[in-house]
């Protein structure tokens, strides 16, 4: 499943010599394979060297210029002045300093607790001192989990953080939890296998600190490094990431807000719902591409360059996928590596190396729940559109549209389903967002008011339309 893997040898045995080019072709069991980091560039960096592909990038930049020109033209016609207003951007990143302050204890907890717990467990396994150390380490990890699990949620709900500031907290929450788990998962087994004597020395603190910032979720004591830092490349990627944020604001402001902000003022119908989904497919797929380019390419490459991290394969050519199983593997290689190592492989180990379907289902469940949690955290309400799309459509498509499906027709089908899926998400989430603002509940009902969906958008909009009609008469 990976481009570079090697078998994890049993303790004390050498790594089997398998030619790198043929390793992925062998039918060696997936149980025991490890991610191997090598120096390589990101795929888009290689493609950008081709003038024909670079022109596609220029077309997206031209699209941003068109959005800017249209905004200025509308302001000039309506207001008689040329001024760029970023109300949506300002609202989304409101209270960002509070989110950054909240991040500090989250990071310090991740920096100190897992490493200190490992140091407690590396002591010689004899007497009651080691048992006490194990218990203390477990208590520290429990406190660390509570801090990462509760603190960002409390701050987001208590201070009503807007969506982008919530994004900072929830992505850091998930990232730090995944990094903590990877560090302990890779180092604790060796510590616990030690018998008597000195035990196994914990890795250096500097290697753990480097791991917390480098763009991977798989811990290794060392990684391949590039010889120097290209600061112009860093600045270029950060500038492109900022441009993607502005691009997304223009798309939401011009293609989504005018459509969905007034839906609660109109009679609800199935036709209106279907048309809203079709209308949302274009901005939805644009948002998908912008998130991919801004985060998986620009943001991760900027940090990789600053830290001289050599392996830049954060994604593969997912756009050429002819099956959803390949799409899930290549869209986000960083997260896929973590899921493959610690959910799929560990699931196979628990099942005795069998029931691969059950292990894959476990990966889908974990991924679906975490994605839905992120949406719930960012938007401030529970509306399981993503969860249902993952479980009802994503899972079956993963097993039916498998790697044996090849040919351009399957790639067209995959893109068609991506368009429709993005349209459904953008349409339903936007409708729920504005329904909650235009149709507030008459009184506070605690958790249900803030977190749960309002009993279905159609019924809510229809009831509010009836009430407004009665008021007018």
pLDDT averaged per 10 residues in sequence order, the chain, 473 residues:
39 35 40 82 92 89 86 77 76 92 95 89 66 84 92 93 94 95 88 59 87 94 93 95 90 85 75 88 91 94 94 92 87 93 88 79 88 92 86 76 76 91 91 81 49 48 46 44
Residue 45 lies in a domain: no
Question: Same domain, yes or no, for 237 and 382?
Answer: yes
pLDDT at residue number 16: 34
Q: Does residue 88 lie within any of the structural domains?
A: no
Query: Which residue numbers are catalytic?
Result: 371
Choosing from 182, 213, 244, the residue where a domain stops is 213
Domain extent for 275 = 5-18+28-39+228-439+446-472
Residue 122 lies in a domain: yes
Same domain for 280 and 426, yes or no, is: yes
In the prediction, which pLDDT does 15 show? 34
Residue 270 resides in a domain = yes
Assess whether 168 and 248 both reside in one domain: no
- Residue 199's region, left for phi above 0, alpha for psi from -120 to 50, else beta, is left
Instruction: State the pLDDT at residue 128.
Output: 66
Determine contact, residues 311/223, Cβ cutoff 8 Å.
yes
Q: Is 286 domain-assigned?
A: yes
What pLDDT is stored for residue 206 in this prediction? 92
Q: Which pLDDT score, from 0 to 100, does residue 357 have?
A: 79
pLDDT, residue 426, reads 92
pLDDT score, position 467: 45
Exposed (0-12), middle (13-18) or buried (19+): which is 111, by Cβ within 10 Å?
A: middle
Question: What is the Cα 13 distance to its own chain's centre?
Answer: 37
pTM: 0.83
Same domain membership, residue 164 and residue 234 = no
- Residue 197 corresponds to which tokens in the numbers above? 């004597």
Would residue 68 count as lying in a domain? Answer: no
Specify whether 286 is located in the same domain as 337.
yes
| pLDDT at res. 463 | 46
pLDDT at 338: 94
- Whether 407 and 463 map to the same domain: the answer is yes
Please tell me whether residues 110 and 205 are part of one structural domain.
Answer: yes
Give the residues across from 452 on adjacent strands.
382
Q: pLDDT at position 437, please?
A: 81
My answer on whether 334 and 374 are in the same domain is: yes
Residues 387, 278, single domain; the answer is yes
- Alpha-carbon gap, residue 331 to 321, rounded angstroms: 10
Maximum distance among all Cα pairs of the chain, rounded to whole angstroms: 87
Q: Say yes or no: 174 and 270 in one domain.
A: no
| Domain C-terminal end among 156, 180, 213 | 213
The tokens for 266 are 């109109």
- Same domain for 354 and 413, yes or no, is yes
Judgement on whether residues 300 and 397 belong to the same structural domain of the protein:
yes
Q: Where on the phi/psi map is residue 114: left (φ > 0), alpha (ψ -120 to 50), or beta?
A: alpha
Report yes or no: 439 and 454 within 8 Å, Cβ to Cβ: yes
What domain count does the chain have?
Answer: 2
- The pLDDT of residue 197 is 52
């Amino acid at each position: 499943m990976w481009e570079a893997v090697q078998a994890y040898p049993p303790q004390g045995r050498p790594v089997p010599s398998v030619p790198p080019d043929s390793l992925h072709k062998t039918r060696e069991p997936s149980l025991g394979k490890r991610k191997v980091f090598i120096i390589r560039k990101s795929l888009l960096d290689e493609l950008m060297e081709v003038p024909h592909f670079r022109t596609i990038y220029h077309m997206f930049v031209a699209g941003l210029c068109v959005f800017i020109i249209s905004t200025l033209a509308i302001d000039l016609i309506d207001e008689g002045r040329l001024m760029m207003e970023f109300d949506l951007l300002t609202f989304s990143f409101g209270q960002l300093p509070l989110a950054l302050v909240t991040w500090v204890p989250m990071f310090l907890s991740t920096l100190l607790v897992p490493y200190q717990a490992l140091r407690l467990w590396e002591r010689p396994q004899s007497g009651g001192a080691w048992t006490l150390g194990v218990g203390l380490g477990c208590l520290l990890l429990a406190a660390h989990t509570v801090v990462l699990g509760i603190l960002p949620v409390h701050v987001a709900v208590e201070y009503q953080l807007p969506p982008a500031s919530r994004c900072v907290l929830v992505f850091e929450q998930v990232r730090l939890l995944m990094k903590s788990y990877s560090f302990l998962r890779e180092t604790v087994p060796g510590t616990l296998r030690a018998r008597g004597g000195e035990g196994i020395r914990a890795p250096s603190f500097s290697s753990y600190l480097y791991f917390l910032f480098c763009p991977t979720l798989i811990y290794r004591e060392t990684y391949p490094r590039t010889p120097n830092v290209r600061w112009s490349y860093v600045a270029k990627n950060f500038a492109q990431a900022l441009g993607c944020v502005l691009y997304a604001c223009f798309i939401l402001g011009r293609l989504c807000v005018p459509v969905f902000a007034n839906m609660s003022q109109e009679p609800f119908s199935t036709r209106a719902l279907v048309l809203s989904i079709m209308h949302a497919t274009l901005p939805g797929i644009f948002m998908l591409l912008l998130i991919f380019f801004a985060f998986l390419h620009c943001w991760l490459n900027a940090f990789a360059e600053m830290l001289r991290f050599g392996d830049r394969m954060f994604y593969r050519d997912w756009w050429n996928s002819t099956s959803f199983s390949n799409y899930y593997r290549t869209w986000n290689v960083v997260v896929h590596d973590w899921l493959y190592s610690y959910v799929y492989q560990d699931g196979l180990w628990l099942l005795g190396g069998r029931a691969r379907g059950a292990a894959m289902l476990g990966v889908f469940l974990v991924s679906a729940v975490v994605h839905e949690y992120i949406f719930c955290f960012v938007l401030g309400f529970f509306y399981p559109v993503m969860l249902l799309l993952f479980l009802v459509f994503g899972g079956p498509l993963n097993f039916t549209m498998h790697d044996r499906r090849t040919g351009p027709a399957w790639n067209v089908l995959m893109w068609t389903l991506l368009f429709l899926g993005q349209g459904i998400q953008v349409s339903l989430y936007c409708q729920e967002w504005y329904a909650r603002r235009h149709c507030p509940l008459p009184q506070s009902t605690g958790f249900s008011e803030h977190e749960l969906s309002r009993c279905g958008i159609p019924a809510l909009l229809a009831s509010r339309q009836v009430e407004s009609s009665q008021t007018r008469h």
